[in-house]
Amino acid sequence: MDDCIIIGAGPAGLTAAIYLARFHLSIRLFDCGSSRAALIPCTHNHAGYPEGVEGTELLRLMLEQAEKYGATREHAEVTAIVPVEGGFEVHVGTRIAKARTVLLATGVVNNRPEMDPAEHDTALQRGLLRYCPICDGYEVTDKRVGVIGTGDHGMREAIFLRGFTADVTLIAPGAAHDLDDACRAKLAEAGITHVDGPSAPIHIAGDKLAVSTPSGTLEFDSVYPALGSVIRSKLAVAAGASASDDGCLEVDAHQRTTIPGLFAAGDVVKGLDQISHAMGEAGVAATTIRNLLAEQRPIRR
């Protein structure tokens, strides 16, 4: 039986692997290969990289660091976490791995706009399509920006981006905007135009991203989909862990879920969806795991 099984090898999972391996604990790291961080063309707000770093390169370096201390990543999809006496059974295909603790770091999946998948990925790499204004709002300073979204969520993202540029347009993903009077008043105060949809098709037009609407095709330097995301917490929820209405796992200040021995860190937990935040949570979780295991059985070299 391992000391800990980590599910997910994004920034949170890999940080936890580094910590736990350096604590001389036996760990396994299962990863299905779909970290959202891998989609980042270049992040400029992650400390220590003055020229920015590609998401794939950051993950490569973190994995290399974890492997240096004995951690290994296995490409596999976990299908169930089952609490048992003394720990957990983790179902991986037809196999069952056992561990005293489990750390879930499975993150989230962005809801995509209606776009050809290949063109979507090209637009993302070129910075024509962006998903995180906290990460890269600086890069659209004084540029023409479109936001695909509506309601309170779409309004808040458009107003956030207004802090970087005066040219922001909120476009409804469906036939018409779902904006109450309060949302419309806030948009008007910020000088943000809102246009009814549907906002499709979306395609690359030279160095712009073109969004088709009933009132004509609009071209932007960058477009932000504000369509929400799917939190990948179903493994923990199925095991009995508590989650918010939108699926974020509930944890305490030490990243403990409501199931003893089951921890969670990163975007799967409610909080700021940022690499640095995920890494901090993972450090807290890993240290708590180490101390919990030491209470059960002293760690000696």
pLDDT at 301 over 80: no
Q: What are the boundaries of each domain within the chain?
A: 2-109+229-296, 112-225
pLDDT digits over 204-221, tens only? 999 999 999 998 999 999
Give ∠ CA 207-209-215 in degrees, rounded to 5: 130
Question: What is 112-225's CATH superfamily?
Answer: FAD/NAD(P)-binding domain (3.50.50.60)
Question: What is 2-109+229-296's CATH superfamily?
Answer: FAD/NAD(P)-binding domain (3.50.50.60)
Task: Report the candidate in 135, 130, 182, 138 with the shortest Cα–Cα distance to residue 156.
Answer: 182
> Which residues, in sequence order, are bridge partners of residue 287?
none
Cite the DSSP H helix spans in the chain: 11-22, 55-68, 117-126, 133-136, 151-161, 181-190, 234-239, 275-296
- How far is 105 from 232, CA to CA, in rounded Å? 9
pLDDT at 34 over 90: no
Q: What is the pTM of this model?
A: 0.93
Q: What integer pLDDT is reported at residue 80 of this predicted model?
A: 97
Average pLDDT (120-133) is 96
Q: How confident is the model at residue 51 (pLDDT cuts 50, 70, 90)?
A: very high
- Is 112-225 in the same CATH topology as 2-109+229-296? yes
